Structure formats: structure tokens, C-alpha cells
Chain A
């Protein structure tokens, strides 16, 4: 059973507009949530994270929102740029479990100019 779900395989946005990528989870024990970005022929790179005790974390154009009651988080990119076109993975970490990150299946973002 998937613990981290990204239900939208793809998203298309125009340059300058907002991109919103969504992620749902089932395990209330997760301590941190991370977003990774992946370009073709490269490994995933860390983008932004949020602790389970917070509801928002902002870093430049990227903001992650966490709604614990709904077990839902979202990544907002404003304004979107063509260079943001990539696969975005949502991941969760449960420190008490002592295991690796649990990843969603990813959402492919395409930003057109």
C-alpha cells in the first residue's frame, strides 16, 4: 500500500503562472516531508522540506504547505519558469522507523514559454 501518493502524473503550466504540485500521505508518524527535483539523465536533487510541526516553509520561489489533518502537502512554484520543467518527487521521513525515505511516484511538470 502506497504511503506517499502523487496522484497527478503530469502538470502543464505557462511561464510566469503558479505551479501547484500535490502529495498525500497515510502515515501520521512521518516527521519530515521533502521535495526532490529530477532532470533527465541526472539524479534527484533536494529542493525544499518541511517539518511535521510546521504548516509552511518558503524558499525563494518555492513554498511547501502542510495540512496535517488532511495528510496533504503541496509545493507551490511562483512564478514558474521553463527551467522548472522536471519530475518532482514528494518524499517522507519517519525517524523512528530508522529507514530510508519513502517516495511518491512523481509528477512531471512542464512549463511552457
Chain B
């Protein structure tokens, strides 16, 4: 079974650091990009960034560039999202998701989608 298993809920204080994880199984982890999505309480989905575990190529949303670090350890099929100094406004649910791909027009171009999602990691930052 293809799945992404995320680490457990975290409660932290402002200024603390944090690294949450997303472990893939049931597929070739190094062959698919992994994205991270934030959902603040009662709000919509926000795209944070994406990493290719095969070579750690990483692309950030401008809104999150410099605010978080996305990384991966392909030896253990795990992607990470980390903060060096948390703020109360980082309180949210964080999802990782696999970017699937399908060729179109005989492979001339490709369509993408987020087909496998982790259950999410709740991060609460409060003094």
C-alpha cells in the first residue's frame, strides 16, 4: 500500500525549533516529489513548497521562503519540514503529499496532481 506516515502532534513555545517528518512507503520514494501544505485552524489549504527526494531539489512558495526549511533523507524515505524559531502564527495542521504524474500526448508533456496524502501533523505554538 502506498502511504505517507507523518509524525505526531507537537506542542511548542514561541522561539523553539521543530522538525516534523513524513515517511513514504509502498513506492519508490526517490521518484516522486513530496509537497507540504499548511492549513491554519478553520482556514483553507496553503501551498508551502515541494522537494524531490532523489536529489533534494526544493522549490518554495514565496510566502514560505525563508520561514521554513524542507529537506529529505532518501536513505530512510523521509521528508521533513522544519522551523528554526516558531511563532504563534505557525499553529496549524501540516500535510505532506506525493506529487503524482501522468504523461499526456505521448509524453510530450505531463500532468501533475497530489495523489497520496499523509494524515497531517498538528503543530501548536503557545506560551
Q: Do A and B bind each other?
A: no
